[in-house]
Amino acid sequence: MNRARRNILHTSFYRNYNLCPANLRLSLSNLSSHGSSLHTSSNLHQQENSDDEDKKPVREISKIVNKVSVETSMRYLESQAYKTTYGDDPVWVPYRRNFKGQFAPKKTRPTCIKEDVLITGNPCPICRDEYLVIDFRNVKLLKQFVCPYTDKILFWDITCLCQDKQRRMEVAIEKSRRHGLLPFYVPFREYDYKDYYDFSSKTMKN
């Protein structure tokens, strides 16, 4: 039924087309050819876009983090590759946080690594370099996260470490201090000498 109806429509169209004047026939033929060219160009454009999408390289979102021993990390800190990368500055100095808006978030991200895979494009100074291993024996690395003037542990708002690495760093520094590898911070104590000396006696007055 549909095929018969289509044939009737085509027959009536060509019959009316033959009855039209010559100038109107030319306009209709130009319109038909223009529409077909538009359809062809749109198909070509869609095909080019699909080809471009196929050629685009796939961005690697995740990266597997290899486990490195403490001994290898300690040798890395003494190598020329480390000096070329970081120079004489601590590893957190050249790092910059990425965040939306004008003000930085109050805390850094909870972690940069889940199941030995990087889950962020801008990991913290420790997570981005797999050769920086947090361990109580890696003294040269731990010293970079201790204030040289007060011997206090630097907080994450200065070093930009993720919360997981910050906790690990604090534990490693305290453990290294208990093993005698790092100097221990002793707070200043004020004594009341009246509890130890009798200032009312004649001997103390003289």
The model's pLDDT over 64-105, given as tens digits with 9 standing for 90+, comes to 888 999 999 999 999 999 999 999 999 999 999 888 888 888
How far apart CA 64 and CA 115 sit, in angstroms, is 9
Token pair, residue 22, equals 């010559």
| Domains in the chain, CATH or no CATH each | 1-34 (no CATH), 63-178 (4.10.640.10)
Tell me the pLDDT tens digit for each residue of 193-206. Answer: 888 887 776 555 44
Most confident of 27-41, 59-73, 79-93, 102-116: 79-93
How far apart CA 175 and CA 17 sit, in angstroms, is 95
8 Å CB contact between 74 and 142: no
Residue-averaged pLDDT of the chain: 79
Q: What is the mean pLDDT of residues 136-154?
A: 94
Q: At 78, is the secondary structure helix, strand, or coil?
A: coil
